[in-house]
Structure 1
Amino acid sequence: MNFHAQPLRSSANCPKHGDFERLCYFGDSWTGCPKCADEDAARIELERETIIRTGEREAWQRRLGDTGIPDRFKDRRLENYVATTPGQIRALEFARDFAAHFGEPDRRGQCAIFLGLPGTGKTHLAVAIGHAIMESAPRTVLFTTVMRAVRRVKDTWTRGSTESESAAVAALSFPDLLILDEIGVQFGSETEKLILFDVLNERYEKRRQTILLSNLTVDDEVVDGRRVPGIRSFLGERVFDRLREDGGEAVVFDWESHRGKVAA
């Protein structure tokens, strides 16, 4: 096959991108549309990244089991959340928006705190967001309580543990969405605050999104002369500041119990 000392040049037309100059370096083999070539390269790279990401997701899923979503809530979807009051409608609209724009460049790292009494639908909407983002793309979601997350890290400190502390923190920082339930049920010791900071700071640095659920108020309250700690105290100021960055929001569920009210 003859190689050309200087490439041959010729005009050509691409049905998609229009006119372009094609080149021939040897024989009668001519180059195609450069824009099509760039698009093909980008598509191949995206497919490669998807394969890698899917492999990581499957490996993570095998390691941790399922999403951790309780059986009671596995049928919870945005579509079957009953919203009749203005507050419930606002919460549902927030959840829909959070799910619809999950992972977009200007939303990466956005967190949310759902606050309200038991039975107001916090877990329903958080789990529904998790289902929505998993159904729209190969994403990972983990639902766990703060006590379980803290216990998992603490268990690595025991003699004979097969998992390192860094590996436990990494496992909690890997999911695209982490849903942490029962904020405030833990004792709120400095050790627990440090563990929470390590997990949430790791997610903060990777700009991975987190939803926290709590029956507490944001700040401390005085009830019958007794100070009742708010979520800020339980988490610690450093963790709370991390959650407010990247457009983090607190959604207040200030209505009566929502339990048993799931749309058919």
Structure 2
Amino acid sequence: MSTLPKSPQPPRRTSAMGDLATDILRRHGLPQASNVALLPDRHPQYRHCERHGRYPESLVDEQGTVRFITPAGCPRCRAERQLAALLDRAAIPERYRDCDFANFRISTPAQARVVEACRAYAADFAANTDGRALILLGPPGTGKNHLAAAIAHALLAQGRTVLQAMVWEVIERIRATWRNGDGPSESAVIGAFAGVDLLILDEVGKQHGSPSERLSLFKVVDSRYRARPTILLSNETLTDLEEYLGPAAFDRLCHQGTLLHCQWPSYRRKGTQGEGTES
């Protein structure tokens, strides 16, 4: 029995995916391989984050080149981790780390004016590098720490360095240098507080205000004068604050500085501003 000749078969069509893989090989001077394909060839590609939803894993640039985004992973999760690390280094208290201008609840014109002044302070921070201070005075629970944290968030986003410390901690660190000859020197400790772009001093005036405390605090304030700004948070009146700081330090802080009075009922008692807002 004679065998009928086979009819000619049409050339096998490769998928678009195979065509793209072949084109890439040819572009780089490599031989075509039947078992090579680009998987997948649709870009941008996306992955899913359980917290933030879909995010891109690749993109196509203006030349048509596929580029994978590095580092891999959800960019919003990565940004949150980076911010947490910055807040750790800034020593922002845990309870205030989610505080920003957007979630400060405004119910009076006085609050609106103070918040706007704090926004402007952060936005125009470059103009404050001459050491211009910001003093927030008011009773406990009025949101002073919330506003300071909001300013810190804004500056960290600008790539600035921020450090928050209780006044008693600053004084104790300086005093420790007097007792321990093997540790850092007094000038090194003062230099650490002087070196950050913004220093936030909390609970100013709660201490005894002894001559040695005043001297220690004056050294820190003086080291930042005309160089880097400082924010002071205090529950004291302006008169009591001046008495505690002493004329020299108070004069330096008030020179071209901004004084904001947070005179409204405690959020903590009303339960409207959130657990974190205590001062």
Identity in percent: 44
1:253 equivalent in alignment to 2:262 = yes
1:145 equivalent in alignment to 2:166 = yes
Relative to 1, partners in 2 of residues 1:162 and 1:94: Cα closer, same or farther, differing over 3 Å? same
Structure-1 separation of matches of 2:208 and 2:236: 14
Q: For 1:218, which of 238, 243, 254 is the aligned residue? A: 238
Contact 1:101–1:107 at 8 Å: present in 2 too?
no
Relative to 1, partners in 2 of residues 1:77 and 1:139: Cα closer, same or farther, differing over 3 Å? same
Structure-2 separation of matches of 1:84 and 1:134: 28
Contact 2:142–2:262 at 8 Å: present in 1 too?
yes
Give the 3-state SS of the residue equivalent to 1:138 in structure 2. Answer: coil
* Unpaired stretches in structure 2, ≥5 consecutive residues: 1-84, 275-279
**Match in the other structure for 2:228:** 208
Query: Which amino acid in the other structure matches residue 75 of structure 1?
Result: D
Query: Which amino acid in the other structure matches residue 231 of structure 2?
Result: I
Give the 3-state SS of the residue equivalent to 2:160 in structure 1. Answer: coil
**Match in the other structure for 1:240:** 250
Q: CA deviation at 1:84?
A: 1.1
Contact 1:173–1:203 at 8 Å: present in 2 too?
yes
Structure-2 separation of matches of 1:202 and 1:149: 13
**Match in the other structure for 1:189:** 210
Q: For 1:231, which of 238, 241, 245 is the aligned residue? A: 241
Q: TM-score, length-normalised on structure 1?
A: 0.68
Q: CA deviation at 1:107?
A: 5.8
Alignment of 1:34-183 (within 5 A): 66-104=89-127, 108-135=130-157, 137-183=158-204
Give the 3-state SS of the residue equivalent to 1:153 in structure 2. Answer: helix
Per-residue CA deviations over 1:150-173 (Å, capped at 9, x if unaligned) read: 001111111344110000000011
Between the two proteins, the alignment pairs up a number of residues equal to 188
Runs of 4+ residues over 3 Å off in structure 1: none
Contact 1:102–1:108 at 8 Å: present in 2 too?
no
Query: Which amino acid in the other structure matches residue 211 of structure 1?
Result: I
Contact 2:165–2:200 at 8 Å: present in 1 too?
yes
**Match in the other structure for 1:20:** none
Structure-2 separation of matches of 1:107 and 1:161: 34
Q: CA deviation at 1:141?
A: 0.4
Q: CA deviation at 1:65?
A: 6.1
Structure-1 separation of matches of 2:192 and 2:166: 14
**Match in the other structure for 2:54:** none
